[in-house]
Amino acid sequence: MTTTEPAAGASAAPPPTVRPPLPVKMVIAGGFGVGKTTTVGAISEIEPLTTEAAITEVAAGVDDLTHTPRKTTTTVAMDFGCLTIDPTLKLYLFGTPGQERFGFMWDDIVEGAVGGLVIVDTRRLDDCYAAVDYFEHKGIPFAVAANAFDGKVEHTLEEIRWALDVTDGVPVVVFDARERGSVRDALLVVLELALARTEN
């Protein structure tokens, strides 16, 4: 008998237990037409669930389409997608509706989230004030991500931070909502922020 063979009658060691990845909820927020649905769609490993509805003439009169003239639909409830970061961690992404008239849904969508990514269009920074105020009021860690529409942003990161009046503890980054790698990097900023909060 070799040393690698179990003794007669001895049972083999049980195989190691494979644990499923830890589920982590993250919210993608921001104003109307800033790229929330695009962000979730670019990174989700499953076909994202969206609640897009056609923009009617009535809605077009309420929602400012000046900077998004090609936008024909809008999120009326939420977007949902997921991303496995590694064998131990899986992100579940929930995108909020951007219009204030759907704000009553936010508390339910955000409940249990470890953090949020507030997407901004630098051509209309005032559209994201409500999202920034919401996360600050709730004490939920968040990062600000300036979406590079047409490959550029209108202001520097310092100007964006000043305009939004966010503290140094809130990361401000530039990303492209259409590019998977860029979205991943922005989400990892929020994840690192949330993990640092739990360690303190």
Strand 22-30 and strand 89-95: the pairing is parallel
C-alpha 178/C-alpha 12 separation (Å) is 50
Q: Cα torsion for 172, 176, 182, 183, to the nearest 10°?
A: 80
For tokens 């509805």, the residue is 53
Residue 17, pLDDT above cutoff 60 = yes
Asked whether residue 97 carries a pLDDT value surpassing 90, the answer given is no
Helix ranges, the chain (H): 36-43, 57-62, 106-110, 129-138, 157-164, 180-199
* DSSP state for residue 68 in the 8-state scheme: -
Query: Which residue's entry shows tokens 């989400």?
Result: 187
- Sign (positive/negative) of CA torsion 140, 41, 84, 168? negative
> pLDDT tens across 157-184, in order?
999 999 999 999 999 999 999 999 999 9
Instruction: Write the pLDDT tens digit of every residue in 102-138.
Output: 555 778 889 999 999 999 999 989 989 999 999 999 9
Residues β-bridged to residue 83: 91
Dist. CA 136–CA 130, nearest whole Å: 10
Judged against a pLDDT cut of 60, whether residue 3 lies above it is answered with no
